[in-house]
Amino acid sequence: MFDLLIKNASIIDGTGAEPFIGDVAVKNGKIKKIGKIDDYAERMIDAEGLTLTPGWIDSHSHSDRTFFSFPDQREKIEQGITFSITGQCGGSAAPLIREDGTVETVGQYFERLSSVPQGSGAALLVGHNSVRKAVMRTEKRAPTLEELDKMKALVEDAMKKGAIGLSLGLYYVPGCYAEIDEVIELGRVVAKYNGIIASHIRNENDGLIEATKEFIDIIKATGCRAVFSHHKAMDKNNWGKVKTTLEMIDKANSEGADIYVDVYPYIASSTSMTSRFLPSQFHPSMTTSVIELLKDEDICNRAKAWGRAKWGNDLSWVIITVCGGHPEYSGKTVNEIAEMKGQTDRFDTVFDIMREGNGLSNICTFMMCEDDVEYVMKHPRAMLCTDAAVRTSNTYCHPRMIGSFPRILGRYVRERRVTSLPEMIRKMTSLPAKVYGLSSKGIIAEGYDADICIFDADRIIDTADFINFDLPNKGIEYVVIDGKIVCEKGKYNGVRAAEVLRIEK
């Protein structure tokens, strides 16, 4: 007897092949049989009129920071995600500086996680920024040879203990202080273990071309397989440059590199307010906290002048998601908050918000265009992602946290016909499984993990937006992880059937 039998589904197997009608039988967490199946099962689902695919893989996620506090990962499951690649943008949950000044390594982090089952599965990249902080905090300088050796040792320990690679966040503190030689040295450690490098590059707007070249140089020097994270061009004067950057990546691949990209289905990004409006060129050479920077009137005035010259005085495209101690700001634009405060200079408002939030304010910014999103999405080496964690409170959030994958299939496949349904499913399943070395995931085939999504291809769509950010998706019928049903009729049922994988080397 099987544990689960799914009957009469339109099966898209994840390889890019056309759908076929059939049944799928599951036993002990694995797909045991595909075809016309008349055997008995403990649980049966009639999927006539529905589409069955491998569970969807979020190729770029930040949920590693909530594995302990919010292990259900409801937002992932209710959009069909059964596995995520976490620890992205240089910031992984480990290595982590403890309150007593000691460092929790990735191995120790995995040990703590071993007793915490998860709602949706995941793997971990070790973050360059986290490694750098563990060794030299946020100092704006090159590491000494001794410090570089300590960083390399932390990366090596992470790879040995189960991390799948290294993530870079060269846009963020302290990764933005690193020279290319430092990154290459760490990447060569990853290469010893056939690991991968995923990079939030140093600049996604005016310096996009130069930052792409730096990324390619890093990958060529290390020999690692690589992912260009959430590929985009920000600010209107840079729209269209993704054609050039993808050409650069294609050329590098033709010369022996192995580079992929991922993309999320929105024209708004989400990041910290300080990284957008107080970037690294305004940081002094000495170690200075963000709070101290915000007290320095000269630095703030220079940053304000830079912002005014770049964006003018209309910041209606900037929405505050979180500002510590000021929930009344959440979901409002900078312009709206300026009017609340009676301020005419929007950059005075920006810096007030950053100070009031003690440097911990986050924003959504509408800085990309649909043509670029679709152009990247069509690329044969493009994977799909949320670039999100899971919700830790009822405060405002970017809707990508809730609706990315249904939006991809509803808006970009069914409505806009960016590519075929089987091809988009490949980008969400077998492609990320191949890129990240998940050998038992991403395909509906006998012997593979029974991670499955069943949905109505005619109805699937997101409903969350930038005003009503927490609305449910439509069209997700069932989600199965490790052979267990975890979502029925679009609702998570509380079952935690997954774990954070430690990839053995």
Of the listed ranges 117-126, 129-138, 365-374, 467-476, the one predicted with least confidence: 467-476
Task: State how far the Cα of 349 lies from the Cα of 334, in Å rounded to an integer.
Answer: 7
What are the structure tokens assigned to 139, written together? 């100092």
pLDDT band at 228 (very low <50, low <70, confident <90, very high): very high
| Domains observed in the chain | 55-267+367-439 (3.20.20.140), 274-365 (no CATH)
What are the structure tokens assigned to 503, written together? 């990839």
Taking a C-beta distance cutoff of 8 angstroms, is the pair 239, 368 a contact? yes
233-292 pLDDT tens trace:
999 999 999 999 999 999 999 999 999 999 999 999 999 999 999 998 888 866 678 889
Residue 110 pLDDT > 70, yes or no?
yes
Task: State how far the Cα of 95 lies from the Cα of 245, in Å rounded to an integer.
Answer: 32
Taking a C-beta distance cutoff of 8 angstroms, is the pair 227, 59 a contact? yes
Task: State how far the Cα of 450 lies from the Cα of 442, in Å rounded to an integer.
Answer: 10
CA dihedral 77, 364, 64, 163 (to 10 degrees): 110
Whether the ω angle into residue 54 lies within 30 degrees of 0, i.e. cis, is: no
Tokens 């750098």 sit on residue: 132
144-167 pLDDT tens trace:
999 999 999 999 999 999 999 999
Q: What angle do CA 308, 360, 132 make, to 5 degrees?
A: 100
What are the structure tokens assigned to 125, written together? 């990249």
Taking a C-beta distance cutoff of 8 angstroms, is the pair 31, 444 a contact? yes
Task: State how far the Cα of 444 lies from the Cα of 422, in Å rounded to an integer.
Answer: 13
Q: What pLDDT shows up at residue 394?
A: 66
Residue 137 pLDDT > 70, yes or no?
yes
Q: What is the mean pLDDT of residues 174-180?
A: 97
Whether the ω angle into residue 284 lies within 30 degrees of 0, i.e. cis, is: no
Q: What pLDDT shows up at residue 472?
A: 96
Residues in the chain: 505
Task: State how far the Cα of 496 lies from the Cα of 119, in Å rounded to an integer.
Answer: 4
Higher pLDDT, 365 or 390: 365
Task: State how far the Cα of 89 lies from the Cα of 270, in Å rounded to an integer.
Answer: 12
Q: What pLDDT shows up at residue 287?
A: 64
